[in-house]
């Protein structure tokens, strides 16, 4: 299957065009974040700031409680990721190993839960959490994030469990290991990378989430980063571009780092169930 030289060049050109399309908004964000007000007001903006400055970052921290917001986001995302994985792993194990009616119902729910618009979920949740006095509170938000992350966590974990050959567990059972012992010392170590990937994925999803946080968190000191970011945009849609860009850039960094870590797993075939390795 030899591709001609012009064909190859065309492919590289097309790939370059794609990468430019995917990268340019982010580059522009970075460029804007480092520009002084004079350049931001200029009618002829440049790609590279002529007079780069960190003033926007300082101003962003002065204007909004970014550190507090980042701490809130971190608590919500860590809590949601840990609890979701803790709850989902045993269930995923059952779903992967036993073909019971329950497992099938759970799979069905994973699919159906994707189709419902969040309004239909958030209104009753809002009322329930209000009765429990969990509006404007981290535990309330974490509970919502856990349930919201479960479908995808289950989906990923079922794939990882299937990748662990049942023969290994049976061999351990033949050697006299009890059921719990088998799970802890045979299955769990083999499953660990998958569990970590799932937790990181749940972390990023919760870190990036906006809608639930917007509805459930009322006071600025409780709000997460994405919600606080929107405060930079004024009532008339007028935004102070420099600090907005600086804050947005900072808010993205943790997700980018985590994604860089799990990147291989994602492109390597998360959607095929990651079964072949």
Partner 1 sequence: MTSVTEAQRAVRRAPRSRTPRRLADHGAWFLVLPALIPILILSVGPLLYGILLAFTDAQSGRTAPTQWIGGLNFRDLLQDTLFWESFRIGLVWAVGVTVPQFLLALGLALLLNQDLRLRWLARALAIVPWAMPEVVVGVMWRLVYNPDAGILNETIRNLGLGDGRDWLSGLGTALPAVIVVGIWAGMPTTTVALLAGLQNTPRELHEAAAVDGAGAWRRFRTVTWPALKPVALSITALNLIWNFNSFALVYVLTSGGPGGRTRLPMLFAYEEAFRYGQFGYAAAMGCVMVAAISILLAVFLAGRLRGGDEA
* Window 235 to 274, contacts with partner 1 (CB under 8 A): 237, 239, 241, 244-245, 248, 251-252, 255-256, 258-260, 263, 266-267, 269-272
156: number of CA atoms within 13 Å, CB side? 27
- Considering the rule CB under 8 A, would residue 15 count as an interface residue with partner 1? yes
**Both tokens assigned to 127:** 């009322």
C-beta of 108 vs 189, nearer to partner 1: 108
- Considering the rule CB under 8 A, would residue 81 count as an interface residue with partner 1? no
DSSP, res 1: -
Angle at 145 between CA 114 and CA 139, to 5 degrees: 155
C-beta of 93 vs 160, nearer to partner 1: 93
Give residues 56-75 in contact with partner 1 (rule: CB under 8 A).
none
DSSP-based three-state secondary structure for 42: coil
233 phi, psi to nearest 5 deg: -90, 120
- Considering the rule CB under 8 A, would residue 190 count as an interface residue with partner 1? no
Least spacing, CB of residue 62 vs partner 1, in Å: 18
- Considering the rule CB under 8 A, would residue 94 count as an interface residue with partner 1? yes
Rounded Cα distance between 32 and 244, Å, is 9
- Residue that is written with structure tokens 């001609």 in the block: 4
Least spacing, CB of residue 38 vs partner 1, in Å: 11
- Considering the rule CB under 8 A, would residue 204 count as an interface residue with partner 1? yes
Burial call 228-263: b when 16+ CB within 10 Å, e when fewer: bbeebeeeeeeebbbbbbbbbbbbbebeeebeeebe
Binder to partner 1 among 57, 66, 70, 93 (CB under 8 A)? 93
C-beta of 47 vs 219, nearer to partner 1: 47
Least spacing, CB of residue 222 vs partner 1, in Å: 16
Least spacing, CB of residue 30 vs partner 1, in Å: 10
Least spacing, CB of residue 162 vs partner 1, in Å: 14
- Considering the rule CB under 8 A, would residue 78 count as an interface residue with partner 1? no
Least spacing, CB of residue 193 vs partner 1, in Å: 18
Site mask for partner 1 (CB under 8 A), range 100-129, x = bound: x-x---x--x---xxxxxxxxxxxxx-xx-
102: number of CA atoms within 13 Å, CB side? 8
**Both tokens assigned to 167:** 């023969």
Number of amino acids touching partner 1 (CB under 8 A)? 96
Residues 24 and 207 sit within 8 Å (Cβ to Cβ): no
Rounded Cα distance between 216 and 141, Å, is 7
DSSP, res 186: I
C-beta of 90 vs 220, nearer to partner 1: 90
Give residues 140-159 in contact with partner 1 (rule: CB under 8 A).
143-144, 146-147, 150, 154
Region of 133 on the Ramachandran plot (φ > 0 left; ψ -120 to 50 alpha; else beta):
left
C-beta of 16 vs 192, nearer to partner 1: 16
- Considering the rule CB under 8 A, would residue 163 count as an interface residue with partner 1? no
What Rg value do the Cα atoms of the chain yield, rounded?
A: 23
């Amino acid at each position: 299957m030899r591709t001609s030289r012009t064909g190859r060049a065309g492919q590289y050109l097309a790939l370059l065009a794609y990468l430019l399309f995917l990268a340019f908004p982010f580059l522009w964000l970075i460029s804007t974040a480092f520009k002084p007000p004079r350049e931001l007001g200029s009618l002829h903006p440049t790609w590279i700031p002529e007079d780069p400055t960190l003033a926007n970052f300082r101003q962003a921290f002065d204007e909004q409680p970014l550190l507090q917001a980042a701490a809130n986001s971190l608590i919500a995302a860590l809590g949601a990721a840990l609890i979701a994985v803790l709850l989902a792993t045993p269930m995923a194990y059952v779903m992967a190993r036993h073909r019971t009616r329950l497992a099938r119902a759970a799979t069905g729910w994973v699919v159906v839960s994707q189709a419902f618009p969040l309004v239909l979920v958030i209104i009753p949740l809002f009322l329930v959490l209000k009765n429990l006095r969990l509006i404007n509170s981290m535990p309330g938000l974490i509970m919502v994030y856990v349930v919201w992350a479960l479908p995808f966590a289950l989906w990923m974990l079922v794939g990882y469990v299937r990748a662990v050959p049942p023969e290994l567990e049976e061999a351990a059972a033949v050697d006299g290991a009890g059921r719990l012992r088998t799970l802890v010392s045979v299955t769990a170590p083999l499953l660990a990378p998958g569990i970590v990937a799932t937790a990181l994925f749940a972390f990023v999803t919760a870190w990036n989430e906006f809608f639930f946080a917007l509805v459930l968190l009322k006071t600025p000191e409780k709000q997460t980063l994405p919600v606080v970011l929107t405060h930079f945009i004024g009532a008339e849609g007028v935004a102070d571009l420099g600090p907005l860009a600086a804050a947005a850039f900072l808010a993205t960094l943790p997700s980018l780092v985590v994604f860089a870590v799990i990147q291989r797993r994602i492109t390597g075939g998360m959607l095929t169930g990651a079964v072949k390795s």
